């Protein structure tokens, strides 16, 4: 089983996807955010005092999951930056920019392929591009 977790930087029109092999958990979502922040975000936004997350209403980062909130607090403590979360109401994820700016293109790149390894999925996703890059 391969689980993707995506982050989308609206200011830079840039997507970031982490692939996991376990379950979609709050801890995985926080690890994904931490990886992006440490690898790119901190350098791109050196004066940032907070991060705003736009999250769907369900799944691992649901507003009702206390484990996600605990994982998020631990992440805030590690990174030393405020993280604010705005949750879309149930059945409104279609309004989340990541749903139409990143995931359709990644899905198209992976269509018709049997996922035999994380490396294969990673390779397919790395080739994903739009007209604007």
d(CA 63, CA 86): 9
**pLDDT for res 49:** 96
**Where do the domains of the chain lie, and which CATH numbers do they carry?**
3-126 (3.30.420)
Largest CA distance in the chain: 43
Q: What is the mean pLDDT of the chain?
A: 86
Q: 117-130: per-residue pLDDT in tens?
A: 888 888 887 877 76
d(CA 98, CA 55): 10
Mean pLDDT, rounded, for 79-92 = 90
Judge whether residue 90 has pLDDT over 90: no
Share of the chain above pLDDT 90, in %: 35
Encoding tokens for residue 6?
Answer: 């995506």
- Which comes out higher in pLDDT, residue 5 or 53? 53
């Amino acid at each position: 089983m391969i689980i993707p977790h995506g982050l989308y930087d609206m200011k830079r029109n840039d997507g970031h996807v982490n692939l996991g092999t376990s379950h979609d958990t709050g801890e995985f979502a926080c690890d994904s955010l931490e990886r992006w922040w440490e690898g790119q975000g901190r350098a791109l936004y050196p004066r940032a005092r907070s991060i705003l997350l736009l999250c769907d209403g369900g799944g691992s980062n649901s507003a009702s999951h206390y484990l996600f909130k605990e994982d998020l607090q631990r992440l805030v403590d590690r990174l030393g930056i405020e993280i604010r979360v705005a949750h879309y109401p149930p059945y409104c994820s279609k309004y989340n920019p990541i749903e139409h700016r990143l995931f359709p293109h990644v899905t198209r790149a992976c269509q018709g392929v049997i996922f035999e390894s994380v490396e294969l999925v990673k390779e397919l996703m790395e080739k994903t591009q739009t007209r604007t890059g």
